[in-house]
Amino acid sequence: KLPFEFVDFMEGKLSEEAEDNDDDDDDDDSMLLEKKVRQFDFVFKNNQKSGAQLLRLNEQTLELSYSVWNSLFDGVIDEIMAHIADLLATETMSGCKYLCLCGGFSQSAYLQHRLFKKFGTRSQYDLCIFTPRRPILSVVDGAVRMGLRPNFISARTIGKTYGIAVQKDLDEWKRIYPDVLIPKNKVGKRVIATQNDGDKTAAKMLRAKPVINDVFLPFVRRNTLIKNGDQPIVYWLEP
């Protein structure tokens, strides 16, 4: 049976389309829903080798074929597999031999089938893929263990690059990067004191120093491996 949320959504969606189409005023919601199902069935069959019926609407029951049902998850599974392949291509994951499937979606037989086919022992990756007895609770269990015992995780990989925008000396920048073009809107001047003696003549010792604005200074970069016990890196910046 169709869930009530889906029925309410389709009734609102189809009623809006019925108002926009003056030629279909005589069609009720069920006729419009059947029309949409047939259109989807026709398009989907043209993209498949088999011409078998893929969708069937019977009053309030919508029957989906095996291929259509799997296609609803192909987009998400493709992204998961691409992400895993990217991780395995990194230097830190080059020696990976095991792949543990956690979370509710890991119980999907279709997901497991595609992962085994792509990354299993008979593939080029040759990974041993397994699923815990309670894959949903394994996520919570891991979070609790890490919270109670921080050393449970020996190292972690930074997911994003963090930093701030700073000013850099223009002359020094040109000396280090002579071939890099600098946008004119990024060049400015910074008023500095040549000496700080605290007397009244300090105002006469000021000069304008050419600088580059909004230069990104990264504190830590993405995919950097941080081990437990590593000393934090401290930056001292002038105001």
Candidate from 43-47, 53-57, 122-126, 193-197 with smallest mean pLDDT:
43-47
CB 25 within 8 A of CB 18: yes
Q: Total domain count for the chain?
A: 3
Per-residue pLDDT at 85 exceeds 70: yes
- Residues 39-56: pLDDT tens digits? 655 545 555 555 455 666
Residues 60, 100, single domain; the answer is: no
Residues 56, 83, single domain; the answer is: no
User: Considering the domain boundaries, does residue 69 fall inside one?
Assistant: no
Residue at token pair 């829903």: 33
Residues 56, 118, single domain; the answer is: no
Per-residue pLDDT at 228 exceeds 90: no
* Closest of 229, 220, 79, 85 to residue 157, by C-alpha: 220
pLDDT category, 16, cuts 50, 70, 90?
low
User: Mean of the pLDDT values across residues 219-227?
Assistant: 88
User: Considering the domain boundaries, does residue 174 fall inside one?
Assistant: yes
CB 121 within 8 A of CB 128: yes
Per-residue pLDDT, 130: 93
User: Mean of the pLDDT values across residues 24-46?
Assistant: 56
Cβ neighbours of residue 194 under 8 Å, at least 6 residues apart? 205, 206, 207
Residues 132, 111, single domain; the answer is: yes
Per-residue pLDDT, 72: 80
Structural domain that includes position 113: 74-153
Among 153, 170, 187, the domain boundary falls at: 153
Residues 94, 145, single domain; the answer is: yes
Residues 49, 32, single domain; the answer is: yes
Among 64, 95, 111, the domain boundary falls at: 64
Name which residue leads in pLDDT, 18 or 96.
96
User: Considering the domain boundaries, does residue 239 fall inside one?
Assistant: no
Instruction: Report the alpha-carbon distance of residue 96 to residue 127 in Å, rounded.
Output: 8
Residues 85, 36, single domain; the answer is: no
User: Considering the domain boundaries, does residue 86 fall inside one?
Assistant: yes
pLDDT category, 88, cuts 50, 70, 90?
very high
User: Mean of the pLDDT values across residues 166-171?
Assistant: 87
The alpha carbons of the chain give a radius of gyration, in whole angstroms, of 30
Instruction: Report the alpha-carbon distance of residue 15 to residue 22 in Å, rounded.
Output: 12
User: Considering the domain boundaries, does residue 170 fall inside one?
Assistant: yes
Read off the pTM.
0.53
Residues 168, 220, single domain; the answer is: yes
User: Considering the domain boundaries, does residue 27 fall inside one?
Assistant: yes
User: Considering the domain boundaries, does residue 237 fall inside one?
Assistant: no
User: Mean of the pLDDT values across residues 213-238?
Assistant: 85
CB 184 within 8 A of CB 236: no
Per-residue pLDDT at 191 exceeds 70: no
Residues 56, 9, single domain; the answer is: yes
Residues 213, 146, single domain; the answer is: no
User: Considering the domain boundaries, does residue 234 fall inside one?
Assistant: no
* Closest of 210, 218, 207 to residue 167, by C-alpha: 210
Candidate from 80-84, 106-110, 137-141, 202-206 with smallest mean pLDDT:
202-206
